[in-house]
A and B are shown apart, each in its own frame.
Chain A
Amino acid sequence: MTSLLDVDALTIGFGMAPPVVSNVSFSVHAGETLALVGESGSGKTLSCRAILRILPETAQVRGGGITFNQPDGATDLLTCSSRHMRRIRGNRIAMIFQEPMRSLSPLHRLGNQVGEVLRIHRNLGGAETKRRVLAQFEKVGFADPERAWRSYPFEMSGGMRQRAMIAMAMVAEPELLIADEPTTALDVTTQAQVLGLIRSLQKDTGMAVILVTHDLGVVANMAQQVVVMNKGRVMESGGASGILGAPAHGYTKKLFAAAPMIPEVAQPGGALDRKDIILDLRNVSKTYTMRAGGWRKPVQIAACRDVNLQVVRGKTLAVVGESGSGKTTCARIALGAERPDPGGEVLFAPDRDDAPLPVHDMTRTQRTAFQRQAQMVFQDPYSSLSPRMRVQSAMIEPMQIHNIGSRSEQLEKAAEMLRWVGLDPDMLRRYPHAFSGGQRQRLSIARALTLDPRLLICDEPTSALDVSVQDQILTLLEDIRDRAALSYLFISHDLAVVARIADEVAVMRAGVIVEQAPPETLFYNPCHPYTRALIAAQPEPDLSRPIDLALVAKGAGSPASWPDRFRFEGADAPILRELDPGHLVRCHV
């Protein structure tokens, strides 16, 4: 059996520098999944982009070849005509880009952007296109496909955009799907659904998949072949079972060793001491009006409802939950970037004995102080960096704003911060676009830390990081927390990470908190069906423990399908009840 795609000794570099991808070879067969794992910044994205020939303008392919084998002959993708290439792109080879926000046009509705693929390659009419796109939206887990069709990207949560991206790549049923970290912004239940979708499509159409991921659990669940990369080189490649079972290369071993897991908990944890609260969200709700445009009646979206959260000083409050459940919204409200609906309030106490200040009604000086003390790591690091600002300027900007240090001190600090997050200070001169996804994420973290804040809100800060770097970053965060009593509001999808870092976990679903408890309690005794589904859907890097899709589906399905105790419909959810000390669950008595 010949392979569908052969990458042979691919070498890519920038400018005069040594290549960032060197001698990378792999091949994919039809119907097969190849997982590309490895260090952040090791050249995975570039290798994938090389296949479709959409490298950055400054990138040079210094050698190697890429052959796409089809029944009607082989094509050298690096040299074929651009017309030929156009017929392949989107049609036979589709790609899911790593950063969904930037990769979607902000001016076009999602329906339009996704449907376009069908219009170009399948020559479908408007109605048929819409039907198929809506079906695809449904499959990737949009509760309301019609709404997604009409929405603009900026009206969607990170995970929703990512799902739109996935839908765009899959809707034309390509022969090869390149998925560059397709599930980083998805909660595990949705992730399970998407992975299931990919698998079923593979089964139906014989699609091959190149899956770039950091999640070894996903690898274990999906891949037949694995390629491990580090520093632009392939460290190890081969069958999934072999590599997962017995990693041969030093790097692979190290990588696998770093993979976090949900610990087996023997007993529930105790309730948290809530005396010293740094951030207090009280009854926060947020309703958005969709820019339906035109003459249609405006549609209201409740992003979150009646959220009450307290971050205890020096502790970490983790928020997990379904994609689109309002986590980011809460975070933005907490930092004053957005106003909650009337009735809600956010209080911030800078110091132990200070009277809490309302975040949305501060005086100018209070606000300045607050903005120095509370920082945010954005879910989408690429968007949060000005494309025309060198990283150096971006890094020293917070210090400039708050007038800290001389210029050389600022530069020194910036370099120091980069080193902390494992980046080379040489990179300071680059522009944001010249980084890999994971590197940008680390930049974002580094920038948030430069001001030595007291409160850090991290919106999925490690989703794009490979497990070893992630480990490094988490250690760093824990370090600082312990050293400087930094408090975190930590949004994540990765339960393993949450289990490691959180002092308390809130689980959100459909805009409300459904369960809240210290992690030990939560993993010991998950009460809510959704929490259970989450835990069940967490993939583990163990081929022998595939995800229990049935359980996932039950919990992640519509609230109406939950057991009576938890069931609710529309906006009238039951209140949170304290089952055990420190363990809140939204249920009827």
Chain B
Amino acid sequence: MTFLKYAVYRFFTMLLTLWIVSILVFTIINLPPGDYLSNQIAELRATGQAEGVAKAEFLRTEYALDRPIWEQYLIWVGFAPGPNGFSGLIQGDFGWSFEFDQPVGEIVGDALWLTVLVNLAAVLFVYVVALPLGVLAAAEAETWMDYTAGFVGYLGLATPNFLLALILFYYGHKYFDIPIGGLMDASFEGEPLSWAKFKSMATHLIVPTFVIGTAGAAAMMQRLRANMLDELSKPYVETARAKGLAPARLLTKYPLRMAFNPFVADIGNLLPAMVSGSVLVSVVLALPTIGPALLAALKSQDQFLAAFVLMFVALLTLVGTMISDLLLVLLDPRIRYGSRDT
């Protein structure tokens, strides 16, 4: 099968999976007893806010929550018309967030790029730190450098994220004047990007990046090191050495590419991790990202928001796996997706 054919085939498989996932997501979200509006009404009643109750009742009919669940699914995806005609995911209408009282698209839109920013920073951190360190640790295996890098990595790994964040925030603020929490100075919010804003964001990103990144970096570093050590003594590395390649290039071109195979397999996880990877961290660090919104939505059963975020993450997962499958074929030409069961 040529690469192109394979890519097309893989794409259609992805659509199929996505459809199955959408059913599952919808089911899971509707699994727990109760729903947002009922909870909401209960709470509003408890606190005597008659007004909210009316609004909640209004939303219930507006969003067809009084219909059977399968019908709700069809309406949500956009296969069937709702009270106000067809408007579902495939029509580009993601629904309404009851918690935020805004269209899902708007909430997500805001949070999404910040999420991607934070996690991109973390992912970059992981790669920028872990790649060279992992390669170095392998090249210099069992020296003090290897051990120190390992130790620092494990230190980050073995400290609960929140505690680590607190420690970093507290002492960072005390001694280096690093801001606590948030993604930028409040005064820059909503401002156009400027150098000052960028600087503010950069300083705010230090701790989150570090907290989210350490675990990943340590993990990647150690695994890379192990894989590299496997490759380093293979004859083809000797050939490369006999060519007179400089160490850096030698390591990165040959064994690294080979050692990278398991990581490429994991790219499928990288994309969704950009969105959902740091949920708990974002929640505790109060980053205005999609993670806390998701958690809140799930807890309060804000179903359209939750469903959309989950579908989005699922889509990213699927796209990620697809990319990783395609990359794998490019990375290692020996891989053939033929079967072996004869």
Indicate yes or no for A touching B, C-beta below 8 A: yes
List chain A positions with a Cβ less than 8 A from chain B. Answer: 52, 54, 56-57, 86-91, 94-95, 97, 99, 102-108, 116-117, 120-121, 152, 154, 168, 291, 293-295, 298, 382, 387, 433
- Nearest-neighbour CB distance to chain B for A247, whole angstroms, equals 33
- Nearest-neighbour CB distance to chain A for B342, whole angstroms, equals 8
- Nearest-neighbour CB distance to chain B for A476, whole angstroms, equals 28
Chain B residue at minimal CB-CB distance from A49: B238
CB within 8 A of A295: which of B4, B238, B243, B244? B4
Cα–Cα, bound, A295→B3 (Å):
7
- Nearest-neighbour CB distance to chain B for A393, whole angstroms, equals 18
Contact B244 A293 (CB under 8 A): no
Contact B333 A86 (CB under 8 A): no
Contact B3 A54 (CB under 8 A): no
**Given A293-B330, A295-B4, A89 and B241 contact (CB-CB distance below 8 Å):** yes
Contact A97 B241 (CB under 8 A): no
Chain A residue at minimal CB-CB distance from B7: A295
Chain A residue at minimal CB-CB distance from B245: A120
Cα–Cα, bound, A102→B244 (Å):
18
Cα–Cα, bound, A492→B209 (Å):
61
CB within 8 A of B244: which of A57, A87, A106, A382? A87
Q: Which of B55-63, B229-237, B315-323 contacts A (4 or more CB under 8 A)?
A: B229-237
Residues on A with C-beta less than 8 A from B333 are 106-107, 152, 154, 291, 293
Contact A90 B244 (CB under 8 A): yes
Interface residues of B in 296-320 (CB under 8 A from A): none
- Nearest-neighbour CB distance to chain B for A161, whole angstroms, equals 11
- Nearest-neighbour CB distance to chain A for B338, whole angstroms, equals 11
Cα–Cα, bound, A242→B274 (Å):
74
Number of A-B contacts (CB under 8 A): 83
- Nearest-neighbour CB distance to chain A for B11, whole angstroms, equals 15
- Nearest-neighbour CB distance to chain A for B250, whole angstroms, equals 9
Residues on A with C-beta less than 8 A from B166 are none
Contact B334 A168 (CB under 8 A): no
CB within 8 A of B235: which of A52, A103, A295? A103
Cα–Cα, bound, A104→B242 (Å):
12
Contact B242 A102 (CB under 8 A): no
Chain B residue at minimal CB-CB distance from A109: B333
* 19 sampled A-B residue pairs with Cβ under 8 A: A52-B242, A90-B243, A90-B244, A90-B245, A97-B235, A104-B239, A105-B236, A105-B258, A106-B258, A106-B332, A107-B257, A108-B257, A116-B245, A120-B243, A120-B244, A120-B245, A121-B244, A154-B333, A387-B234
Contact B236 A298 (CB under 8 A): no
Most buried by A among B244, B330, B334: B244
Cα–Cα, bound, A102→B333 (Å):
16
Interface residues of B in 238-257 (CB under 8 A from A): 238-246, 253-254, 257
Contact B239 A103 (CB under 8 A): yes
Contact A106 B236 (CB under 8 A): yes
CB within 8 A of B236: which of A57, A104, A117, A433? A104
Cα–Cα, bound, A25→B273 (Å):
61
Residues on A with C-beta less than 8 A from B254 are 105, 107-108
B331 CB within 8 Å of chain A: yes
Cα–Cα, bound, A295→B258 (Å):
23
Most buried by A among B3, B254, B333: B333
- Nearest-neighbour CB distance to chain A for B72, whole angstroms, equals 44
Residues on B with C-beta less than 8 A from A106 are 236, 258, 332-334
CB within 8 A of A107: which of B4, B235, B238, B332? B332
Cα–Cα, bound, A88→B245 (Å):
11
Most buried by A among B3, B239, B331: B239
**Given A107-B258, A107-B331, A107-B333, A117 and B239 contact (CB-CB distance below 8 Å):** no
Residues on B with C-beta less than 8 A from A121 are 244
Cα–Cα, bound, A105→B244 (Å):
15
- Nearest-neighbour CB distance to chain B for A430, whole angstroms, equals 14
**Given A105-B254, A106-B334, A86 and B246 contact (CB-CB distance below 8 Å):** yes
Residues on A with C-beta less than 8 A from B257 are 107-108
Contact B236 A89 (CB under 8 A): no
Residues on A with C-beta less than 8 A from B242 are 52, 54, 89-90, 94-95, 97
B2 CB within 8 Å of chain A: yes
Chain A residue at minimal CB-CB distance from B236: A105
- Nearest-neighbour CB distance to chain B for A121, whole angstroms, equals 6
Cα–Cα, bound, A295→B4 (Å):
6
Closest 4 CB pairs of A and B: A89-B244, A90-B244, A90-B243, A102-B235
Majority secondary structure of chain B interface residues (helix, strand, loop or mixed): helix
Given contacts A105-B254, A106-B333, 15 further A-B contacts (CB under 8 A): A52-B242, A86-B244, A86-B245, A88-B244, A89-B243, A90-B244, A91-B244, A97-B242, A102-B235, A106-B334, A108-B254, A120-B243, A152-B334, A293-B330, A295-B4
- Nearest-neighbour CB distance to chain B for A86, whole angstroms, equals 5
CB within 8 A of B238: which of A54, A94, A294? A54
Chain A residue at minimal CB-CB distance from B239: A103
Residues on A with C-beta less than 8 A from B330 are 293
- Nearest-neighbour CB distance to chain A for B115, whole angstroms, equals 34
CB within 8 A of B234: which of A52, A87, A102, A298? A102
Contact B236 A154 (CB under 8 A): no
One digit per residue, 1 when the CB lies within 8 angstroms of any chain A CB and 0 when it does not, for chain B 210-236 equals: 000000000000000000000001111
- Nearest-neighbour CB distance to chain A for B315, whole angstroms, equals 26
Cα–Cα, bound, A78→B236 (Å):
22
- Nearest-neighbour CB distance to chain B for A28, whole angstroms, equals 18
Chain A residue at minimal CB-CB distance from B231: A105
Residues on B with C-beta less than 8 A from A154 are 333-334
Contact A294 B236 (CB under 8 A): no
Interface residues of B in 256-274 (CB under 8 A from A): 257-258
Chain B residue at minimal CB-CB distance from A153: B236
Cα–Cα, bound, A556→B245 (Å):
37
- Nearest-neighbour CB distance to chain B for A143, whole angstroms, equals 22
**Given A106-B334, A291-B333, A293-B3, A117 and B243 contact (CB-CB distance below 8 Å):** yes
Cα–Cα, bound, A438→B161 (Å):
56
Cα–Cα, bound, A54→B236 (Å):
12
CB within 8 A of B3: which of A86, A120, A294? A294
- Nearest-neighbour CB distance to chain A for B295, whole angstroms, equals 42
Chain B residue at minimal CB-CB distance from A290: B333
Residues on B with C-beta less than 8 A from A57 are 233
Contact B243 A116 (CB under 8 A): yes
**Given A120-B245, A298-B2, A105 and B332 contact (CB-CB distance below 8 Å):** no
Residues on A with C-beta less than 8 A from B233 are 56-57, 433
Cα–Cα, bound, A168→B243 (Å):
9
Interface residues of B in 1-27 (CB under 8 A from A): 2-4
Cα–Cα, bound, A57→B238 (Å):
11
- Nearest-neighbour CB distance to chain A for B109, whole angstroms, equals 35
Chain A residue at minimal CB-CB distance from B240: A105
Most buried by B among A52, A54, A104, A387: A54
Residues on B with C-beta less than 8 A from A117 are 243-244
Most buried by B among A102, A107, A121: A107
Residues on B with C-beta less than 8 A from A433 are 233, 235
Residues on B with C-beta less than 8 A from A91 are 244
Residues on A with C-beta less than 8 A from B241 are 54, 89
- Nearest-neighbour CB distance to chain A for B234, whole angstroms, equals 7
Residues on A with C-beta less than 8 A from B240 are 105
Residues on B with C-beta less than 8 A from A105 are 236, 239-240, 254, 258
Cα–Cα, bound, A535→B2 (Å):
42
Cα–Cα, bound, A53→B265 (Å):
36
Cα–Cα, bound, A382→B238 (Å):
15
Cα–Cα, bound, A91→B242 (Å):
9
Chain B residue at minimal CB-CB distance from A88: B244
- Nearest-neighbour CB distance to chain B for A279, whole angstroms, equals 20
- Nearest-neighbour CB distance to chain B for A453, whole angstroms, equals 22
- Nearest-neighbour CB distance to chain A for B155, whole angstroms, equals 31
Cα–Cα, bound, A387→B237 (Å):
15
Chain A residue at minimal CB-CB distance from B329: A293
Cα–Cα, bound, A433→B245 (Å):
23
Chain B residue at minimal CB-CB distance from A82: B247
**Given A107-B333, A154-B334, A291-B333, A99 and B243 contact (CB-CB distance below 8 Å):** no
